[in-house]
Structure 1
Amino acid sequence: MRGFAPTVRIGMMALAALAAGYSGAASAEPQSVSVYVEAGQSAKSDGRDTTVGTIGLRIPTPATFWGGSVSLAVDAYLSQWKTDAFANNETRFTQVGLVPMFRYRPDAGQSPWFVEGGIGVSYLDGTYHRGNQAFGSRWNFSDHLGVGRSFGADRRQELGVYLKHVSNAGLEGPNPGETFYQLRYSYRF
Structure 2
Amino acid sequence: MSTFSSWGGALLLAGALLGAHSGVSAQTPAQAAPQGLDWQLNYGTSSSASVKKVGVIAGWQRGAPLWQGEQWRLTLRHELEVAFWRVPKAQDIVEAGYSPFLRLERPLQGSGVVFGEFSIGVRLLSHTRISPDHPLSSAFQFSDQIGAGYQWGPQGRSTLGVRYTHLSNAGIKKPNPGINFTQVYYRHRF
So what's the TM-score if we normalise by structure 1? 0.77
Runs of 4+ in 1 over 4 A off after TM superposition: none
Deviation at 1:132, TM superposition (A): 1.1
Deviation at 1:153, TM superposition (A): 2.0
Residues 105 and 111, structure 1, Cα contact 8 Å, conserved in 2? no
Pick aligned residue for 1:38 from 20, 42, 65: 42
- 1:166 aligned partner: 167
Deviation at 1:130, TM superposition (A): 5.0
Verify: 1:94 aligned to 2:104, yes or no. Answer: no
Q: Structure 1 residues 187, 111: closer, same or farther in 2, change over 3 A? A: closer
Q: Give secondary structure in 2 for the equivalent of 1:84.
A: coil
- 2:74 aligned partner: 70
Q: Distance in 1 between matches of 2:174 and 2:50?
A: 22
Q: Distance in 1 between matches of 2:38 and 2:47?
A: 27
* Coordinate RMSD, CA, aligned: 2.5
Q: Structure 1 residues 151, 131: closer, same or farther in 2, change over 3 A? A: farther
- Cα deviation 1:150-177 (Å, max 9, x = unaligned): 1222211000011111110111111110
Deviation at 1:127, TM superposition (A): 1.8
Q: Distance in 1 between matches of 2:118 and 2:31?
A: 18
Q: Structure 1 residues 43, 26: closer, same or farther in 2, change over 3 A? A: farther
Q: Give secondary structure in 2 for the equivalent of 1:154.
A: helix
- 2:148 aligned partner: 147
- 1:82 aligned partner: 86
Equivalent residues, number: 162
- Cα deviation 1:120-169 (Å, max 9, x = unaligned): 10000112235613112100001111100012222110000111111101
Residues 26 and 64, structure 1, Cα contact 8 Å, conserved in 2? no
Q: Give secondary structure in 1 for the equivalent of 2:155.
A: helix
In terms of fraction of residues, the more strand-rich structure is 1
Which region of structure 1 is more displaced relative to structure 2, 147-156 or 122-131?
122-131
Q: Distance in 2 between matches of 1:130 and 1:106?
A: 42
Q: Structure 1 residues 154, 123: closer, same or farther in 2, change over 3 A? A: same
